[in-house]
Chains A and B, each alone.
Chain A
Amino acid sequence: DGGITQSPKYLFRKEGQNVTLSCEQNLNHDAMYWYRQDPGQGLRLIYYSQIVNDFQKGDIAEGYSVSREKKESFPLTVTSAQKNPTAFYLCASSNLGLKNSPLHFGNGTRLTVT
């Protein structure tokens, strides 16, 4: 079955450590996205990528970094510079071949930093 896989589902880190969240898709989608969700909040866009080796900052990119070396993969690194990293992180992808194609989401990674 095609889909988006985020791993791990739960992640715990100590303050001051960088941590990388994995996102893989086998839908052959061109575009991939990272959103952050906090309790009672909507989704806020961190980074997005339309093609391999290219990505753009979203609304809250500070303290995060990404790479897009392969079409299938879009890992997100939460750096120690991110002031409030504990959140639920959602990865998504879409097919640029279809204009305004909807986003397909993974099941998320819940990151807790103490």
Chain B
Amino acid sequence: GEDVEQSLFLSVREGDSSVINCTYTDSSSTYLYWYKQEPGAGLQLLTYIFSNMDMKQDQRLTVLLNKKDKHLSLRIADTQTGDSAIYFCAESISDDSGYSTLTFGKGTMLLVSP
């Protein structure tokens, strides 16, 4: 099956930038996603990028995509304690019938200290 790999843990100080990295394997993925999960809750869509884009910026969030290396990153500027959560990278995969599902990485736990 396809794999999405992420580092498991990142610790930063409040006000610093955070960069969470992800590698994926399916070169035919058309969309790549970043989700945030707070303790005991479901996943919240943060942002996504189409595979023909290199970069997408949305307020404090910047997504960079290197399609050649199949590498995706999420940069959070001016990280706040409220950003502490688990961040999941996901790629869209189409099955034999053409239906799309998402394959997720194991998640990166971001801890922001004051």
The residue of chain A having its C-beta at the shortest distance from the C-beta of B29 within the complex is A100
Q: Which of B45, B97, B104 contacts A43 (CB 8 A)?
A: B104
Within 8 Å CB of B100, what residues of A?
100
B6 to chain A, nearest CB (A): 8
Check B8 against A105 for contact (C-beta < 8 Å). Answer: no
B5 to chain A, nearest CB (A): 10
Interface size counted on chain B using CB atoms at 8 A: 27
Within 8 Å CB of B107, what residues of A?
42
Cα A35 to Cα B102 in complex, Å, equals: 10
The residue of chain A having its C-beta at the shortest distance from the C-beta of B47 within the complex is A102
Does A33 lie at the interface of the complex (its beta carbon under 8 Å from any beta carbon of B)? yes
Q: Which of A40, A50, A100, A106 contacts B42 (CB 8 A)?
A: A106
Cα A104 to Cα B45 in complex, Å, equals: 7
Check A48 against B105 for contact (C-beta < 8 Å). Answer: no
The residue of chain A having its C-beta at the shortest distance from the C-beta of B99 within the complex is A50
Cα A31 to Cα B97 in complex, Å, equals: 14
Known: A41-B106, A42-B88, A43-B88. Is A33-B101 also a contact (CB below 8 A)? yes
A89 to chain B, nearest CB (A): 10
Check A56 against B102 for contact (C-beta < 8 Å). Answer: no
Known: A40-B106, A42-B4, A59-B1. Is A107-B99 also a contact (CB below 8 A)? no
The 3 closest A-B pairs by CB, nearest first: A105-B42, A42-B106, A42-B104
Residues of A within 8 A of B (CB): 4, 6, 31, 33, 35, 40-43, 45, 48, 50, 56, 58-59, 90, 92, 99-100, 102-108, 110
